[in-house]
Amino acid sequence: MNALLRHRNTPKLGTIAVLVLIAWLLPYTVGSYAIHVVDIAIVFALLAIGMGLAMGIAGQINLAQIAFFGVSAYATAILTTHNGLGFWPAAALALVASALIGLLVGIPALRMQSHYLGIVTLGLALGFINWTTNAKIAGGAEGISAIPVPPMFGVDLSSEYLYYYLEVVVFALALAFGLFVVRTGLGRRLMAMRDDPLAAGAVGAEIPLLRMTAFMLSSVFGGLAGVLYAGLIRYIAPETFNISNMFLLLAMVVIGGRQSLVGCVVGAVGLTLIREQLVDYPTYAQLGFGVVVVLMVVFAPTGLAGVPARLKALLDRRLGRTAERSVMRPFEPYEAGASREGGKAADGESRPLLEIKDIAKQFRGLKALKDVSLTVGYGEIRGIVGPNGSGKTTLFNVISGFYRPSGGRVLMDGQVVSGSRPYRLSRHGLARTFQNLRLFGELTVRDNLLVALDRSRTYAIWKYVLWPVGVWRQERRLHRRADDLLRRFGLTEFATAAPGSLPYGIQRRIEIARAMAGEPRLLLLDEPAAGLNGEEVRQLAEIVRSIRDSGVTVVLIEHNMGLVMSLCERVTVLANGSVIAEGTPAEVVADHAVIEAYLGDSAMAEMPLPNPTEVSS
Ligand SMILES: Nc1ncnc2c1ncn2[C@@H]1O[C@H](COP(=O)(O)OP(=O)(O)OP(=O)(O)O)[C@@H](O)[C@H]1O
């Protein structure tokens, strides 16, 4: 069965039918005040979903949600009462306005993250509140009244009972859309960005655009809530969009579980109902919510939505259940053949794939790289060795766009690529792994691979609105390819596991599989054998050879000299940021400068020339 169809969180049809029935019958069972509270709860639920998308899914702290809500509510009010527009055209323009404001608020996220972003978004929300209180067009402290009842084919939406049904339909569609986003490519990329923006960029995720997208999504949900609120209450005033409501919203998302949209809805509905019960004690209610939020952050950071998984993990630990196998299946070699003979490019030219020309990198006073030059031909396996701190990882970081060089150029396939962002380099055919593993910790192993397999551009998210079938088909293709990749790398058994729960050797292999998912031409492996046992190193050598035989050029940094000697045709030696030797493994280990550089370095000082068969398959 397709993995997509057996998604662990896909709601059952029966559950949906029961929920629809409850939603349908609810107005028949409650009084007019209760239905008013439910109508308000739905508005908050929409706001909470938007906030969950930005904060929980994309990891972007957004304290401006109340402003997105306000912008569309005010835009609807102003356009209908001042400009005489009908309710629905005004609502459509209000949605556009809040999406644009969302993009605007997202701009600071390009430069700053975490609490700085929180402060800036909060500042923008305060600015908006200030505007509503002072601007004449916004009605000042008195607000705007007499917003018209939304027309709906003769249905009287001034009745809160009938308005409830409109809200339920809009809410259901919005939640379904949110879940669709979260469970497909865009959501995965947003989550990958949340877990590790550097690694996400390295597998092709356009981080700046994704950050803007997160704020835009959040603002559209805020905008929907604003329109519904304006149509429901038909009067708006600054007190609805104040900081205490922003805090309440934050509490809903944190308590419900910011990484789960359903959790956000539960938090929003639950806290709206509780707030109504405590309406006579607003100060105590605020204080109570504050205490609960602090307790949740400390003891249950994943909120109510995360409680079942935590309980299950606890139970499994208590019962000593370890469901996962800890041994990988064998790697299935790639088909050989695409390998370029004689260091030639695809067009037959004999230029190298990678040219590094006089690269320098300075960190304040420290010259980590000094005029490093080297070339790597097509189909080569190049080793980069050197004592600790000699600049190897810095060189990789420059090649892969993580660092801008202080001088010199990097060319790939004859094209200057130095200074390009990691996601552009990924699309140009570069992939890498990291010395300290950088897997997306909150995603499953399959999702880690899916993020890298998905090469669609961020601008293609228009399909989510206009052509969701296309998104769905693409998902099916990606899941099939992920299954193939999992099988090739012997990882099928671990597909649904969290990478952090797996042994180190398996995590290293997942990282190589993820790098290969992007079908690179050049693969940079940063200490791929670190932490592996002897058998795993032997398997690694087999994998790297097969990758090269499939036509991918490999450059690896390694301290395991046995592996370097057996695998690499040529080795470049760095010391103190400079290339001190280059040649075949036998040549470099006999080089005087190399021996001197390594004196005192235990990895190589006593290095006998290893027998290549030690690590070969
Ligand atoms: N972001 C940074 N800021 C300041 N200094 C840095 C930064 N990154 C690396 N360095 C310094 O640059 C030098 C080279 O570091 P690098 O990590 O490239 O060495 P390496 O050869 O990869 O070492 P190892 O084998 O231990 O991984 C070191 O002195 C290191 O402290």
pLDDT tens-digit readout, 585-596: 989 888 888 888
In this predicted model, what pLDDT tens digit does every residue of 187-207 receive, in sequence order? 999 999 999 999 999 999 999
Instruction: Provide the pLDDT for residue 170.
Output: 96
Distance 393 CA to ligand 1 centre (A): 7
Burial class (CB in 10 A: 0-12, 13-18, 19+), 171: buried
Residue nearest to atom 20 of ligand 1 (CA): 389
Q: Please tell me the distance from the alpha carbon of residue 93 to that of residue 475, in angstroms, as a whole number.
A: 32
Structure tokens at 615: 């690590």
The packing angle between helices 87-111 and 114-134, to 10°, is: 140
Q: Ligand 1 within 6 A of 368 CB?
A: yes
Instruction: Provide the pLDDT for residue 600.
Output: 52
Average pLDDT, integer, range 62-88: 93
Q: Which of 361, 390, 399, 572 to mutate to test the pocket of ligand 1 (most atoms within 8 A of CB)?
A: 390
In this predicted model, what pLDDT tens digit does every residue of 133-173 receive, in sequence order? 888 888 888 889 889 989 888 888 888 889 999 999 999 99
Q: Ligand 1 within 6 A of 470 CB?
A: no
Average pLDDT, integer, range 555-572: 91
Among the listed ranges 74-78, 122-126, 233-237, 514-518, which one has the minimum average pLDDT value?
122-126
Atom of ligand 1 nearest to the CA of 403: 1
Give strand ranges (E) for 189-243.
none
Average pLDDT, integer, range 369-397: 93
With a cut of 50, say whether residue 272 has pLDDT above it. yes
- Tell me the whole-structure pTM to 2 decimals: 0.88
Handedness of CA 230, 232, 233, 238 (dihedral sign): negative
pLDDT band at 610 (very low <50, low <70, confident <90, very high): very low
Q: Ligand 1 within 6 A of 390 CB?
A: yes
Distance 566 CA to ligand 1 centre (A): 26
Antiparallel, parallel or unpaired: β 522-526 and 407-412: unpaired
Q: How far apart are the first and last CA of the chain?
A: 35
Handedness of CA 237, 239, 242, 245 (dihedral sign): negative
With a cut of 90, say whether residue 410 has pLDDT above it. yes
**Which positions ≥6 away from 616 have C-beta within 8 Å?**
538, 541, 566
With a cut of 80, say whether residue 321 has pLDDT above it. no
Q: Ligand 1 within 6 A of 387 CB?
A: no
Atom of ligand 1 nearest to the CA of 361: 12
Q: Please tell me the distance from the alpha carbon of residue 101 to that of residue 71, in angstroms, as a whole number.
A: 8
Atom of ligand 1 nearest to the CA of 435: 27
Instruction: Provide the pLDDT for residue 176.
Output: 94
Q: Which of 198, 392, 399 to mutate to test the pocket of ligand 1 (most atoms within 8 A of CB)?
A: 392
Q: What is the ipTM of this complex?
A: 0.96
With a cut of 90, say whether residue 263 has pLDDT above it. yes
In this predicted model, what pLDDT tens digit does every residue of 450-492 receive, in sequence order? 999 998 888 888 888 889 898 999 999 999 999 999 999 999 9
Cα Rg of the chain, angstroms: 28
Atom of ligand 1 nearest to the CA of 391: 18
**Which positions ≥6 away from 412 have C-beta within 8 Å?**
353, 354, 355, 425, 428, 429, 430, 521, 522
Instruction: Provide the pLDDT for residue 395.
Output: 96
Q: Ligand 1 within 6 A of 386 CB?
A: yes
With a cut of 60, say whether residue 547 has pLDDT above it. yes
Residue nearest to atom 18 of ligand 1 (CA): 391
Identify whether the C-beta of residue 529 lies closer than 8 Å to the C-beta of residue 498.
Answer: no
